[in-house]
Amino acid sequence: MAAPENPFASTHSLDTNPFDDPSPQVTYPAPTEGSQQSRLDAIARREAELNAREQELNQRQASMKRTSPNNWPFFFPLIYHNIHEEIPESSRALVTRLYQLWLVLLGTLIINLIACIFFLIAGSTDGGRDLGASIMYLPVIGIASFLLWYRPIYNAYMKEQSLYYYLYFFFCGWHILFSIYMIIGIPGTGSAGLIQMIGMYSQGHIVAGVLATVATVGWTIQGLGDLFYFRSIWKHHNAEGHSIQKAKTELATHGAKSYFSRG
């Protein structure tokens, strides 16, 4: 008769540690030559697309230069200025308002000069200094405001580059302070502002007073308008992720020549 089977017997040796059995490991297939080649092909295609796009943009800019000659200012064209063609549709209304504010500034400088002429005629003790300063303001402030804050913000929205936003913020900030100074109208400063306006009315010089009123309203409109859009542009600049570091990189890469280029 066969001996009964020992139920406590084990098929494993007592010297064998069950925990020594290696646990199953997940293995990943090594990248094949075909997959690496696919990635390289994808990168090459992407580079080719970017190069093609850059060439297209360069050709478009060259075509624009040939077909769109300088048109501003109209009496002696020095630059090309076209909000409809160069500014993205979403920003055209804002840039148009800024250009209109610059035109208000130019008109205010002219009225301010005429008012100062009438101050001198009215016998103002500071009439000579007012007239001299107002004559200087017309070309200096008129040209500087266009080149230092209007043109930079025009370029900023056209090219969406950080450098132009910071140029605008710096110079437009100073212009807003200058506008407040001109609204006050301290005698002898070349400003036909509030103090000068009140003085002309109180002395019975109605024409000079009316001109000073128009100048004061002009300084106020363009100053408040610039302040309002300054805040709007600051919010846009933050939303687009512009920074001082980007501005430094753009200055180092493009230099000043980018200020005068299109596209």
Average pLDDT on 44-51 reads 77
pLDDT, greater one: 72 or 257 = 72
- Tens digit of each residue's pLDDT (9 = 90 or more) over 142-177: 999 999 999 999 999 999 999 999 999 999 999 999
What was the pLDDT predicted at 44? 82
What was the pLDDT predicted at 42? 83
How far is residue 163 CA from its own chain's centroid? 8
Average pLDDT on 93-116 reads 98
Average pLDDT on 219-226 reads 98
Confidence of residue 220 (pLDDT cuts 50, 70, 90): very high
What was the pLDDT predicted at 199? 96
CA angle 64, 53, 35 (to 5 degrees): 175
Average pLDDT on 114-138 reads 97
- Tens digit of each residue's pLDDT (9 = 90 or more) over 188-204: 999 999 999 999 999 99
Residue with tokens 């308008």: 225
* Domain boundaries, given as residue ranges, for the chain: 92-256
What was the pLDDT predicted at 217? 98
Asked whether the CA dihedral 73, 76, 80, 82 is positive or negative, the reply is positive
CA distance 111 to 120: 14
Average pLDDT, the chain: 86
Confidence of residue 205 (pLDDT cuts 50, 70, 90): very high
Between the alpha carbon of residue 233 and those of residues 46, 91, 97, the distances in Å are 34, 10, 12
- Phi and psi, residue 79, nearest 5°: -135, 165
20 has pLDDT over 60: no
45 has pLDDT over 50: yes
Confidence of residue 13 (pLDDT cuts 50, 70, 90): very low
